[in-house]
Amino acid sequence: MMKPKLKIVFILSLVLLGVLLAFTVFQPITSGGKFNTVASESIIKKEKMWVIVIKIINQADEDTVYSIAWSTGGNVYNSKEVLIQSGRAFTDMHHVYPETAKDGKIDLTIYKEGEPAPIEQSTYYVNFN
């Protein structure tokens, strides 16, 4: 037979476990309340190229223009501006060829309209051997 103190601790532990499980089901635990603007990245090696896929999510309460710039060796070789509706996502599929990335390094910079600093900067290393 269990001692009364142990029985109370056991019951309180079960109640606490139940409360934590309820929180994870009804309100998943998140860090910071929001996820990154660039939600996912994929890098795929094909026979004669690399494909970099990014997904940008507009978390703003209004439609927003984002500028995407791909560069190598400090020179932008591909850029675009996209209007993403509030709460929507945009997927960009970028192809990298051997003549593009001679040094094996591709830089991605994303700006949000009206903000002087980039919201995302990433470097990808590609090898064509």
Q: What is the CATH number of the domain that holds 50?
A: 2.60.40.10
Burial zone of 22 (CB within 10 Å; 0-12 exposed, 13-18 middle, 19+ buried):
exposed
Per-residue pLDDT of the chain (129 residues; tens, 9 = 90+): 567 788 888 888 888 888 777 766 665 544 444 445 776 678 888 888 999 999 999 888 899 999 999 999 889 999 999 999 988 999 999 999 988 887 889 999 999 998 899 999 999 998 887
| Residue 109 near residue 77 (C-beta atoms within 8 A) | no
| pLDDT at residue 117, as a whole number | 92
Same domain, 73 and 112: yes
Write down the pTM of the prediction: 0.68
Same domain, 53 and 92: yes
| pLDDT at residue 106, as a whole number | 92
| pLDDT at residue 60, as a whole number | 84
Same domain, 76 and 18: no
Same domain, 53 and 107: yes
**CA quadruple 122, 123, 128, 129: dihedral sign:** negative
Same domain, 18 and 80: no
Same domain, 42 and 13: no
Same domain, 65 and 82: yes
Question: What residues make up the domain containing 15?
Answer: 1-32
Tell me how many domains the chain contains: 2
Same domain, 22 and 82: no
| pLDDT at residue 102, as a whole number | 77
| Residue 79 near residue 92 (C-beta atoms within 8 A) | no
Same domain, 46 and 84: yes
Same domain, 20 and 49: no
| pLDDT at residue 101, as a whole number | 84
| Residue 34 near residue 59 (C-beta atoms within 8 A) | yes
| pLDDT at residue 27, as a whole number | 59
